[in-house]
Amino acid sequence: MTITRNLRVAVIGAGPAGQAHAFGFRNARMSDALSDVEIVLDTIVDPDTVLAQTVARRYGFARVAADVSQILDSGIDAVSVALPSSLSVPVLGSLLEAGKHVIGEKPLGRSGAEAAELVEIARATDRVAAVGFSYRRIPAVAQLQETVADGAIGDPLFARGHFFSDYALDPASPMTWRFDQEASGGGTILDMATHVIDALEFVLGGVEEVGACILDTTIAQRPTRDGSMAAVTNDDTALIDLRFAGGAIASVLSSRVGAGCPIELGLEIFGTRGHARYRFDRPNEWVLYQRDVGEEGTDAPRTIIPGPAARYFADTMPMAARGNATGYGEAFVAQMQTFLKAVVDGTPMDTSFEVAARTMRVIDAALASARERRPVAVTTPSEN
C-alpha cells in the first residue's frame, strides 16, 4: 500500500515503562489500520543519555536527547511520556502547548486537581491527549468486557479486582520517589489500584461512590543512598470499596508487598445470570459462567481462549492463530496502535485525559475516605 502519511514519534523516559512504549511504537505498524502510515522512530529523551542510547539502539530510534526542550520545536508529531508522577504534569502540558499529540503513563498526575489542569490544557488544543491503561488492551480483557456488555452474565451485581506485586517486600530495597507521598501522590493506590479501577470502569461504567478505603504501610522506613533511613509516607497496601453508577458494588485490593506475586492483576464480575473472571498470570484466557447454558446439573464455568476475532489479537500477534499466547508486550503494541490511529483519524482515544481524570477523582475520593473514615461521593467536574 502507498504511504500517505509520516508520523514521527518520541519517547520521554528511558526506564522500564518508556521501553515498553518504545516496543509498542516499534511494532505498531502491524495494524492494518496503519498500513499506509510510516511510523518514524525518532527520539528517546532521558537525562541519562547513556541509557537513552542503549534504548534507542535496542528499539530502532534514530537519536537521543537529554531534555524535553530539545524536541518541543521539532517536527515530531506524537510523544509518549513515561516519567514519575511529579514530573509528568509539566511535561505533558508543555508538549500539548507545543502542538504534540501525547500519551502518558498512568496515573494522570498526583491528584484530581492536577488531572483537571491537564484536561483543560488538552481541551484548548486539537491534539490527542491520552493515558495508556495497557491492561484493557489485552485481548482476553477486551473480549470479557464485550461479553459482559452484551448481557452474557445478566445485570452486574458485584465485582472484585486485585493487583499484587512483591517489588517492595524487601525492607532493604532503597527509598525512591514511589515511597514518597509528595513525589508520587500515593503508593500502591496510585501505582497499581488505578489499573484495577480503570479495568472495572471499562467493564462496569463509572464509579459514583467510595464506600470505604483502608491504607496500610508495612515497611515504615527505607534506606537512602547515603546510608540513612527515610520515612515511607504512602501506602504499601490499599483496600477500596466502590459503588458504580449502574448499581454494582466492588472491592479493590492492591499491594506491593504480596509475597510470591511478582505481578498479578485479577478481575471477577458477577451478574444475575453468571460471572466472568480474568487473571494476568494466565493472560491468554478468561472464564465465563452462564447459569442458563447447558442442561441442569451440568453447568460449569468454561475457559475461553481468544483468537483473531478478539479485539487487538490479529494486529499484535506475529502468528495470529488461536492458542498462541498474548500478554504484556502485545498490550503495549495495541496501546500505541490505538493512540496512533486516533492521531491519524483526529479522534479522541478511549483512554483520553477525561477518562484518566475520572479515575483520579475516584482516587481522590478513596484518599478522603481513608482520612475521614466515611463514604465519599466521586465528584464530577461541575461539582469541583
Beta bridge partners of 229: 223
Structural domain includes residue 380? no
Question: Across all residues in the chain, what is the average pLDDT?
Answer: 95
- Report percent pLDDT > 90 for the chain: 93
Average pLDDT over residues 142-163: 98
In tens, the pLDDT along 199-211 reads 999 999 999 999 9
pLDDT score for 307: 96
Q: Which tens digits make up the pLDDT trace of 315-338?
A: 999 999 999 988 899 999 999 999
| pLDDT tens digit sequence for 14-31 | 999 999 999 999 999 999
pLDDT tens-digit readout, 243-294: 999 999 999 999 999 999 999 999 999 999 999 999 999 999 999 999 987 7
pLDDT for 372 equals 98
**Residue 289 and residue 147 share a domain:** yes
Quote the pLDDT of residue 1.
61
Q: Mark which of 262, 285, 318 sits at the end of a domain.
A: 318
Query: Among 98, 116, 134, where does a domain finish?
Result: 134
Same domain, 70 and 143: no
Using the 3D structure, point to which of 293, 318, 343 is the last residue of a domain.
318
Whether 83 is covered by a domain: the verdict is yes
Residues 30 and 143 in one domain: no
> 115 with 193, same domain?
no
Domains of the chain: total: 2
pLDDT at 319: 92
Q: Give pLDDT, residue 382.
A: 62
Residue 54 scores a pLDDT above 80: yes
* Same domain assignment for residues 92 and 152: no
In a domain, 351, yes or no: no
Q: How confident is the model at residue 2 (pLDDT cuts 50, 70, 90)?
A: confident
Q: 87: domain range? A: 5-134
Kindly report, residue by residue over 240-250, the tens digit of the pLDDT: 999 999 999 99
Global pTM? 0.95
Residues 168 and 125 both lie in one domain = no
